[in-house]
Amino acid sequence: MTDPFDTRKTRAAAWFRTLRNQIVEAFEGLEDRYGTGAVGRFEVTPTVRADGGGGLMSVMRGGRVFEKVGVNVSEVHGVLGERAQKAMAARGVPGMAEDPRFWASGISLVAHMVNPHAPAVHMNTRMFWTPGAAWFGGGSDLNPAIEYPEDTAHFHGAMQAACDAHSPDYFPKFKAWADEYFFVPHRGRARGVGGIFYDDLNTGDWEADFAFTQAVGLAFLPAFVPVTERRVGTPFSEDDRETQLRHRGLYAEYNLVYDRGTKFGLETGHDANAVLMSLPPIAKWY
């Protein structure tokens, strides 16, 4: 029997690929317009999940603007392992014990910049399906080593505009969720200046939830590119670089210890290089 969600899965997966293409083109455009030295280009590698599905890993290294940036898309399916089932059940996902099948598709992006004054950034949006439920999740957060309040305000403003177009409740709720989610308990501080984060979004109106998730994805480039253009030419010192590398250490700690997507990707057998794409190329610790 045909799953009534099959068409929706196809639409969502196609949208994430479209967004990926837009971002890759925009980032290579930044490389063309700014900086000196070799122009960065994305290397694209297919990824495979042994139990079903795969995706594309697109990584640029050693560019003028981006020291390392990855833009990954995936569409995977299979059966959740016991640990993943327990994690889902703890979040209130119905039907895990009866039928642990799943399908998931999404886009995941992390950018680490050459200039310490230009902030690192993360963005992802995704759709997740099980026989008992289907939902969306994602968000975007800014991670400056050297914060500029006007950059933070611009980024948050773009995220708020995307949220407000769908519900006046979304931005305050999802901003607070990001502040909590991207906190690093063992350091007693946030990994950056936040943004928005949401998960398990299922209002009962799939079209509305999908439209909101598209809006979050479309808000990313207007939120991030102007900030990058503002900072890419700022002179920086060795002390600035040291600050950047140590901040990257904080980012790596968070992603390896706490990040839900990292844990899920590794536990469900997705390509480890794609899952760990978010890690910076160089980092330092105190």
Residue 1 lies in a domain: no
Read off the pLDDT of residues 194-238 as tens digits, 9 standing for 90 and up: 999 999 999 999 999 999 999 999 999 999 999 999 999 999 999
pTM for this entry: 0.92
Residue 239 lies in a domain: yes
The pLDDT of residue 2 is 60
How far apart CA 184 and CA 191 sit, in angstroms, is: 6
CATH number, domain of 23, equals 3.40.1500.10
Tokens standing for residue 255: 């992603």
Whether the pLDDT of residue 1 is over 60: the answer is no
Identify the domain containing residue 183 by its residue range. Answer: 6-278
Residue 70 near residue 110, CB atoms below 8 Å: yes
Residue 182 lies in a domain: yes
Residue 285 lies in a domain: no
Residue 97 lies in a domain: yes
Q: How many domains does the chain have?
A: 1
Residue 259 lies in a domain: yes
Edge-to-edge strands, sheet with 194-201: 43-48, 53-61, 66-79, 101-113, 120-130, 133-143, 194-201
Q: Which residues are catalytic?
A: 122
Positions of E strands within 181-264: 183-184, 189-190, 194-201
Residues in the chain: 286
Read off the pLDDT of residues 236-254 as tens digits, 9 standing for 90 and up: 999 999 999 999 999 999 9
Residue 190 lies in a domain: yes
Read off the pLDDT of residues 78-131 as tens digits, 9 standing for 90 and up: 888 777 777 777 777 665 567 788 899 999 999 999 999 999 999 999 999 988
Residue 139 lies in a domain: yes
